[in-house]
Structure 1
Amino acid sequence: MAESIEPAGAREHFDVDHDFIAHLNGECLEWAWMDGEALQRAMQAQGADWYELVQQRCPYLFAAGPVFVSELQLRQMCEVIAAVQEVVGKPEPHTEHGVFYGYDFHLNEQGVHLIEVNTNAGGAFLNALLIDSQHGLFLYGSAVAEGHLEQVFVEMFRNEWRVVRGDAVLKTIAIVDEQPESQYLYPEFLLAQKMFEKVGIAVHIVDPSALQAQGDGLYHDGQRIDLVYNRLTDFDLKQQPHIRAAWEQKQVVLTPNPMHHQRYADKRKLALFTDADALRAKGVSQVSIDALLRGVPQTRLVQVGDAAQWWEERKQWFFKPVSGYGSKGAYRGEKLTRRVFDEIMQADYVAQRLALPDERKVCAAGIEPQSLKYDVRCYVYDGEIQLVAARLYQGQTTNFRTPGGGFALVREVS
């Protein structure tokens, strides 16, 4: 059992803070609604084809209103992120940092809870569009407030190139995913392509099979690819040996890459983050250990020898495959059948103590008022938060199928 360390008075402070935020999120506050007309104009400005694609494929991409979070909650999320950075350490010199890490939190009356870290988190370009349409009002971060997210993103990719290639000019980027045009977030790839092309970088949106390996690197339609923006969920690239080989031979800059997933997103890291003895043995500071024990739900490796105890305690836990993503193969313990439970016991899983998300009441035109779950995602590069967004949803996962749900603005209340 992981130890819990909390400064005197912190519990009372958080209770008061949470009660106020829960009140705001539980009300239909007319003054708090986002400017829906401004969002529609921003979407239409991306072109008729792009706008029609979004309307047809993902009509619930953007939520009907914002989520409120407190200054204290944001500070606690920052503390957890900083602690994770200390545990995983700095990358090797002349290697990529990894773009768009997604730190996903559940917020509730017990505090903020890091549910997982993603190393190919989607949605940043879409959230930038949403945020920019609102003129930065009440939103977190100086780059957000000043409308500089595009510049921040471009500089991030250029820095990924620079740490590997130095002063050479970044000319071509390939956004790579399996059958990208069929992906739910394909509209985001198009936003990224447009952003890069505005600064003179050629962009190819391609399936990995469309990249040809030649003696000096990867090519598409006869053009050499400088950098691959990797959106594949084949995290170790076992199914894409030509991409992995080009990266290992330093013929292409690859971000994020298998090392990033291994360092941050392997679910076994969550167990390390909640093991105080192991953290001390690694030389992690007590400040970071305290932040992790407060901010990461207790996580344990599942072993078949403990099956009887796991079955007895299953309702307290959420079971996740070590190499899973997007809630695939993840199960809330109380809903497990014995057959699925037995399969989990024979596979590579971790169990994370339940930390249920809070809810946001949505009152939008055309739908009945309803309370939706939400999580908060911090998009992070090299340890720094670039933007904070939320996702409103029903059910177990953030599925973008809920009227009134989708990516939501996060408004800080101090």
Structure 2
Amino acid sequence: MTACAPQAWDQRMTERLEARRAQSVYRQRHTLSSAQGREVIYQGQPYLNFASNDYLGLAADPRLMEAQRLAVKQWGVGAGSAHLVCGHQSPHEALEDALATLTGRPAALLFSTGYMANLGVIQALTQRGDEVIQDRLNHASLLDGAQLSGARLKRYQHQDIASLSQHLSAPCKGLKLVVSDGVFSMDGDCADIPALASQCQAHQALLMIDDAHGLGVLGPRGGGLCQDYGLDTVPILVGTLGKALGTAGAFVAGSHALIDYLTNFARTAIYTTAQPPAVAATTLKAIELVQQEPERRQHLRQLIQYFREGAQALALPLLNSQTPIQPLALSSSAQALDWQAQLAQAGLWVGAIRPPTVPSPRLRITLTAAHQISDIDRLINALAQCLNKQCSNRQSEIEESVITEPQTQATSSC
């Protein structure tokens, strides 16, 4: 007898969840009982936090908290409607102007989240017959935006300009949009934006950069990776406010024509309630601090260099990143979870990132301006303990192998 529909759905969900558990890629949330910061509290225990995207340590800055308190008194706690109805208020307008100035663009448009910004832009700009050409390691929101747009999605090899050029040279019935992360969120490396811009210009393609992890951190004024390269001419720039700026929301910056077009055609901006105006007012204060306190970025760069030197002294398999995102490549999802658990026992909060989020498992270590050199020493020492335990376990396995199979030559790289 055929199972009824609810039972069939339950069976499918159960089977897929069990498969994830078996592969050590099951996801679950951990509820913190503290604000974001250098330390977080989980189940009553403090942990030194190396998992946050709060790169400049602003998420719980007292000045931002006070700015939001005052803004709530004036503007309330909700926008009440969409921007195009009656939800667009003075703090929103002022924030869009400030973001345009920060990134060196004529205009900007607010979105509720970075995910909504990426979906909205790609769907508004492209249609069936067009091509969206993306770096293979782009964020999921960029890939989803292309898949939902009706355009054809093509993916070039990560950071491979020759691969991109092949896609751009191929015939296409419509228009071509090239999309890349600025700073890649799981590898920490930076896109070669000058090369991308050159290829797009040569092939009459439009370039879109998602600088979610560069905004506030890179550039002489904190304006992001494009500013770091000295390029204020990338046509479409996306940024998020919930990382280095410490608040919430996202924006797209570009020409007045682009912003006018998105205001009329980006569904994720049109058909949603505006972000609370108090959040917009708080973000204005965050931008002020980013520009007034360049020492935060300088201190963060020093921490990155110090950590990389310590990790390299241990021969830890760090990916090549000069940003706050410092991924440590590991051999399996099980090993990533094991190292994460060992670090937690040492009082360190680090994310274990596994497939399908990334092609290969790693610890995603993130540094912030709130950390001190002593914190980095503590992290390096804990990673050394993980490495020592791994080598000890491997040596034990080799010795057991020699006992059971004495004819086999066994070696160890530890």
Normalising by structure 1, we get a TM-score of 0.32
Bigger helix fraction: 2
Query: Which is richer in strand?
Result: 1
TM-score relative to the length of structure 2: 0.32
The higher relative CO (CA closer than 8 Å, separation ≥ 6) is in: 1
Larger radius of gyration: 2
